[in-house]
Amino acid sequence: MKTNHMFQGWIKNTVRLGLVGGLSLLMGYASSSMAQTTQTNQTTQPKQKEKKNKVPPLPEGVKLHKDQNIQGVWLADGFNFKGYQTLYIAPTVFAAVERDNEIDIREMAMQLVPEQLATQLRDTKVFANVTTNSADMKPGTKSLKLENTIIEYSKGSAAGREFGYHIGGQPNIKVRGQIYDGDKLVCVFEIKRSGVGAEARMSGGGMSSEEIQRNDIRVLARDVASFVRRTAE
């Protein structure tokens, strides 16, 4: 009887060890499969790419100073906007960080900047003609050309805005404008806007990044127009 009990105990231990060993093998296989899957996903899903174009330096001799709602402005000695018939606004240049997930909204911003500037500057009545069409630059007329470069840009994120304005979820856009009378540089400005509307600050998580940025660009253009009007008085 004792021998039989010992034999049965030996059988139970052997079975138990076999089960443990089998379970260990299964766990090891699962871990290996998960690692291979993770490695495959990392291989087939590359990280977000960024392309940064070099922001050009300010023109030689230009020193910006703050003017009301504009972070930095410069005017050539003795220049104001009086007496000019036409202001031509050239297509926007992009020189900020380019992110793959911002292509559509970035293109929207590049189109909206000149459109809003034209709308807001027309309302000032400083120029008889404000246009985004170079063909409207008639020979013999006293004209200015405005070139805009986006030097900072991000679309922000609704998730970031849910946790508060200072987390970085707000869209961001900074524009450098350079105004020429023929070949002569007469004005430079840099202006930045990021979630300026009260609605964007209070309930930004409920607004799309495009809605917020459209309003930012409208306000940006309004403040540039205000500066032009004051300078022409």
pLDDT at 38: 43
Domain that holds residue 114: 50-232
How does residue 33 score in pLDDT terms, banded at 50, 70 and 90? very low
Angle between helices 209-232 and 103-124 (to 10 degrees): 30
Q: What's 97's domain CATH number? A: 3.40.50
The number of distinct structural domains making up the chain is 2
Q: What is the pLDDT of residue 139?
A: 86
Reported in sequence order, the residue ranges of 100-199 that DSSP labels E, i.e. its strands, are 129-131, 143-154, 172-181, 184-193
Residues 26 and 65 in one domain: no
Mean pLDDT lowest among 9-18, 132-141, 200-209: 9-18
pLDDT tier for residue 51 given thresholds of 50, 70 and 90? confident
- What's the mean pLDDT when you consider all of the chain? 82
Is residue 223 located within the same domain as residue 115?
yes
Residues 31 and 122 in one domain: no
Q: What is the pLDDT of residue 21?
A: 46
Q: If DSSP codes are grouped into helix, strand and coil, which group holds residue 79?
A: coil
Calpha distance 48→155 (Å, rounded)? 15
Of 131, 124, 128, 46, nearest in space to 88 by CA = 131
- pTM here is 0.76
pLDDT value of position 19: 41
